[in-house]
Structure 1
Amino acid sequence: MNLLKMTKRAFGLCLSVVLLLGCGKEEYPAVDLFTWKAKVDVTAKANLTVNIENGAGASGGEGSAKVIDNDFNSKFLINPYQSNFYMQLSFPSPQQVASYTLTSGGDAPGRDPKDWKFSGSMDGTTWVDLDTRAGETFSGRNLTKTYSFKNLVLYNHYRISISAVSSGSLFQLSEWRLIEVPAEQQ
């Protein structure tokens, strides 16, 4: 009986020592639980400017503010359209944009953008072409199309220069959105 008590005490003492010393604990690398990155619409962070405005002004019924109001039922319209027309979004801090969307207006498909160039700039003066499109069409009204490209550079300014519309002398667009895309998703 004495031997059994001594064995239990020895085992208890050994177990205590092992627990205090870590009992052969395996080391696992530290993992950040929030490493997943998503595509993010960054349009709301920016200030919009255009070189040709609607006759009623930016806040008018079809003024430029409508193109970034996140409402597909409103639109930006200019009359007359000119082939040097552009819209620009400027950010207070650089953004890494690798995708954008355009949503056609609710009427008259001839007013849709057809040819354009999407560019980025650090200073608003020197521009780098990121995406160029020609002969684009929208198969429906208030239709959103996404355009993606590779871009790992963070720019303060993004511009879309629309050099042609489908037909006629007017331009319309319901929405223009800029999307930040993580490098691993490009």
Structure 2
Amino acid sequence: MNRLIKPISFLIVALTIASCSKNKSGVEVIDEEGARPFVDYQITDGDDPFTFDFKNKSTSFKSLQWRFGDDSVATEDSPKHVYLSTGIFEVNLTAVGETGTTAKKLVKINIRPDDVVAISAVKTGTANEIRFVAEPKKGLVIQSIEWSFTEVSPAVKSTELSPTRTYAPGSFNSFSVKITSSKGSVINFSKFVTPEGVAENITSGAAFFPNQTNPTNVNEVAQKVVDGNLETKTYIGGAKLPVIFKFTYTTPQTVKIYGIGNGNDSPSRDPKSWVLEGSNDDLTWEVVDSRTQAKNFYDQRTDLGAKTDGERYKKMFYFAVANPKPFLIYKWTVNTVFSTTSTSFQISEFRLFR
């Protein structure tokens, strides 16, 4: 029995093809004489998270063309398709009638890495030693795996299914994993780990509320600090200090680490002093962490041996929370910047990890 797909999200979009009318199904068709095709299909999951069966339910058609969103095309009635990577794919079925009339239906399939393989890191019992585990889901068969531990240079590689690493107490470390399935599908992960386990980025799961933004440049608004891209930034010229970013969750979250990305120029705009607070009612706040930096981010990168501006700018700086507790709301308040003549403020990213 086919199982309807649960973890994969679908979005049906009606497409306007030309001057046309709409039938009761909501699918657009060209207004021409003759029989019009009705287009519809059902998607069910196959034997692993990358495999899908497409059951055609169209009528009054002469031919079909399936486009799966990964440059693959099929013309059979009800094809099976295997995707070779994670991502969002637009499946588009075009039905052509006897007189050339057409109708289309588009569905988006979202295959997320964390829905395919669970990556975890657990304590082994030896001081500061972590065992990494890759657990496949929904019938996936791992053909090969490569771990890359990038806290050292050059990175340490491992092809073991469950390798171990020893980390310095209180350290925040990056690693990546490349997994290839028995069907050739590839899953890539980039994550962070501490001696306590994997640190999960939960920034996107919060509603974001800044107290001010860039009023003139849509490319540098406050929302850019939560877009996951170090190549973008928020810049607030002549900011009214303090600058406040608030993150509201639907369930309490325990933030253990947070990260700040510096902008691509003018280190005098870097935050100098700030406080991160937590609350469960938006009224009573508890200090989670507070900092006053002696040097701006640009100079800190230089001290660490960065050789070029590209290495100094557009980098993340991470800060550990000494006594993490669960809160519904987190508030980051920047009180001062490094400039002594201006209150202009900029960063590229702000991230929360649990």
Show the counterpart of 1:151.
323
Whether the 8 Å contact between 1:97 and 1:151 is mirrored in structure 2 is no
Is 1:39 aligned with 2:199?
A: yes
Show the counterpart of 1:88.
246
Q: CA deviation at 1:116?
A: 0.4
1:91-170 alignment, distance < 5 Å: 91-136=249-294, 137-138=296-297, 139=299, 140-167=312-339, 168-170=342-344
Structure 2: how far apart are the matches of 1:124 and 1:49?
Answer: 12
| Partner deviation per Cα, 1:33-60 (whole Å, 9 max, x = no partner) | x783521110010111111121048xx2
When residues 107 and 92 of structure 1 are mapped into structure 2, their CA distance, relative to the original with a 3 A threshold, is: same
Secondary structure of the corresponding residue to residue 44 of structure 1: helix
Secondary structure of the corresponding residue to residue 224 of structure 2: helix
Structure 1: how far apart are the matches of 2:221 and 2:121?
Answer: 40
Structure 2: how far apart are the matches of 1:105 and 1:131?
Answer: 22
Structure 2: how far apart are the matches of 1:132 and 1:109?
Answer: 20
Whether the 8 Å contact between 1:96 and 1:151 is mirrored in structure 2 is no
**Residue type of the partner of 1:88?**
K
Q: CA deviation at 1:85?
A: 1.7
Structure 2: how far apart are the matches of 1:71 and 1:125?
Answer: 32
When residues 108 and 96 of structure 1 are mapped into structure 2, their CA distance, relative to the original with a 3 A threshold, is: same
Q: CA deviation at 1:66?
A: 0.3
Whether the 8 Å contact between 1:103 and 1:145 is mirrored in structure 2 is yes
Is 1:64 aligned with 2:222?
A: yes
CA RMSD of superposed structures (Å): 1.7
Secondary structure of the corresponding residue to residue 61 of structure 1: helix
Structure 2: how far apart are the matches of 1:134 and 1:64?
Answer: 22
Structure 1: how far apart are the matches of 2:240 and 2:324?
Answer: 32
Q: Which structure has the greater CA radius of gyration? A: 1
The TM-score with structure 1 as length reference comes to: 0.73
Show the counterpart of 1:172.
346
When residues 152 and 170 of structure 1 are mapped into structure 2, their CA distance, relative to the original with a 3 A threshold, is: closer
Secondary structure of the corresponding residue to residue 142 of structure 1: coil
Unaligned segments of structure 1, at least 5 residues:
1-33, 181-186
Identity %: 28
Question: Runs of 4 or more off by more than 6 Å in structure 1?
Answer: none
Q: Report the number of matched residues.
A: 145
Name the structure with the higher helix share.
1
| Partner deviation per Cα, 1:107-152 (whole Å, 9 max, x = no partner) | 1111110100011111112110111111352033112110002334
When residues 149 and 69 of structure 1 are mapped into structure 2, their CA distance, relative to the original with a 3 A threshold, is: same
| Partner deviation per Cα, 1:83-120 (whole Å, 9 max, x = no partner) | 22211111111100011000100111111101000111
Name the structure with the higher strand share.
2
Select between 146-155 and 103-112 the one with higher mean Cα deviation.
146-155
